[in-house]
Structure 1
Amino acid sequence: MAWRRTILGLASFLGLVASGLCGDGPAEPVRPVDMVPLFNGRDLSGLSTWLKDAGRADPRRVFRVEDGVLHISGDGFGYVGTREAYRDYQLTVEYRWGARTDGGTSVRNSGVLLHANGPDGGAGGVWMSSVECQLAQGCVGDLIVIRGEDAGGAVASVRLTSDVVIGPDGKPRWKPGGTPRTFTSGQLWWSRHDPEFRELLDTRGREDVESPLGEWTRVECECDGSRIAVRVNGAAVDACYDVVPSSGRILLQTEGFELFVRKFEIRPLTK
């Protein structure tokens, strides 16, 4: 009967893999049919954490809930994010900065990692392979390609294409009707990024649409198939297409700066 137990054990293992309960990959991406509160305002249910220096543990309580708000202390580098993978959704994140600035004199910096795939820490031991929607001061809405390992340990395929113009500072900015450019690395700057902006703590560009320091900023990422469109406080700031991958986990970074998040939710796409 040993052969029978072996077959049953193998079947059980394969079932776990298929359901996303074994290994690093989540189950088949979920397409929401109603509003899904990724953060419930009470605890970290449905979320997992990663820190470069502690892995899946969080001994310093970098990620915690206080007064119904997700508090990211900024102590270290890593992320809190969904256990589930998602596709075809509208993401809303509302955040404001705290006082902690371990990042020194540079701008306050964080980000939302979209379509995250592969193992935790698969990109340099810190992030996952993904497309980042930047939350850094002066750069909110920039899109960044992050390539790390895939589930098999090979270099992940991550890319996006956007219509761009080159600004006087030499940086590519999103502009409808511009020249198509494919990014397999680097940064796609938001449309009205100030070419004279210097990335110093608590500075602003002349046309920034993010809220003043201490106030809440609303970022919306519409992920529709292989397209991503970003709005900041209601203003369209960036967009791309032919995005690979087109689904995955959704992560919030900790990157040396304190951050408070009061809304982290997705909704189905509307026509």
Structure 2
Amino acid sequence: MKQNLTRSFFAAALLFTATATYAQTKSLFNGKDLTGWHVDVPEMDKNPNARNPFIIRNGMFVSLGSPGGHLITDKIYKNYRIEVQYRFAGKPGNCGVLVHASTSRALYEMFPKSIEVQMENTMAGDFWCIQEDITVPDMEKRRGPKENWGVNGNKLRRIRRLAPDVEKPVGDWNKMVIECLGNEVKVWVNDIFVNHGYNATVSSGNIALQAEGSEVEFRKVDLTPIKKLSKD
């Protein structure tokens, strides 16, 4: 199994080397404030005393976990690599990186239309389809019966990752790398290739980070634009 995953990792890496080049990497947080991002937290609309669950602390971005909501980039991105280094500050729990996000509160009056790359403890690298869709190999094995697939409500929206046991113990730092190129999304967790989706129904949008019940610290959120090479 490990040999197969290693081969898949290097094959994916070689494919990207052959089809794309990388531009200059930049941090999406300045270590001081949330410039470049906007908050979408339903509770803050209803309660003027509700706290903002997204803060900068000791130079790091922190999602406090509640009230639930999303921190969304002001800019729209296409063809890029994003690297996040994160850890659960206390007890393990839930969070996520949403790529190709668009319409706010499109699901359950909370989640923006997007493809989520899961960060929940023991599930990091899973895809969740949120009013958008994506295809993976072995789809029925990893998503469930085809007749129950969907992108909203109680449909089967989760697509399980390829490799188990890729996360470090709670309190240690994890690294997640997501590469979005055209209609493909590839994911690595701690340098292990864990997911590859293609034929996505969307190829650009905002990037969002969640507040979903658990405090999560981010010491790096770096974005690198990708330029597709000509086939000529």
Q: TM-score, normalised by structure 1?
A: 0.68
Q: Report SS of the residue matched to 1:95.
A: strand
- RMSD, matched Cα: 2.6
Pair 1:162 & 2:136 matched: yes
Consecutive unaligned residues of structure 2, counting only runs of 5 or more, are: 1-21, 152-156
Aligned length: 200
Q: Is the 8 A contact 1:144 1:188 kept in 2?
A: yes
Paired with 2:169 and 2:226, the residues of 1 have a C-alpha distance of: 29
Encode CA deviations 1:180-208: one digit per residue, 9 max, x unaligned: 9xx6431110013xxxxxxxxxxxxxx41
Structure with higher RCO (Cα < 8 A, 6+ apart): 2
Paired with 2:23 and 2:112, the residues of 1 have a C-alpha distance of: 26
Larger C-alpha radius of gyration, 1 or 2? 1
- Equivalent residue, structure 1, for 2:107: 123
- Equivalent residue, structure 2, for 1:74: 65
Q: Report SS of the residue matched to 1:54.
A: helix
Paired with 2:49 and 2:56, the residues of 1 have a C-alpha distance of: 13
- Equivalent residue, structure 2, for 1:104: none
Q: Identity over aligned residues, as a percent?
A: 29
- Equivalent residue, structure 2, for 1:37: 27
Pair 1:249 & 2:206 matched: yes
- Identify if the C-alpha distance between structure 1 residues 79 and 165 changes in structure 2 by more than 3 Å, giving closer, same or farther: closer
- Equivalent residue, structure 2, for 1:226: 183
Structure 1 residue identity aligned to 2:125: G
Q: TM-score, normalised by structure 2?
A: 0.78
Q: CA deviation at 1:212?
A: 1.0
Consecutive unaligned residues of structure 1, counting only runs of 5 or more, are: 1-31, 102-106, 148-157, 174-179, 193-206
Higher relative helix content? 2
Q: Is the 8 A contact 1:109 1:136 kept in 2?
A: yes
Paired with 1:69 and 1:76, the residues of 2 have a C-alpha distance of: 19
- Identify if the C-alpha distance between structure 1 residues 235 and 74 changes in structure 2 by more than 3 Å, giving closer, same or farther: same
Paired with 1:55 and 1:49, the residues of 2 have a C-alpha distance of: 11
Q: CA deviation at 1:59?
A: 4.0
Q: CA deviation at 1:33?
A: 4.1
Structure 1 moving runs of 4+ over 3 Å: 55-59
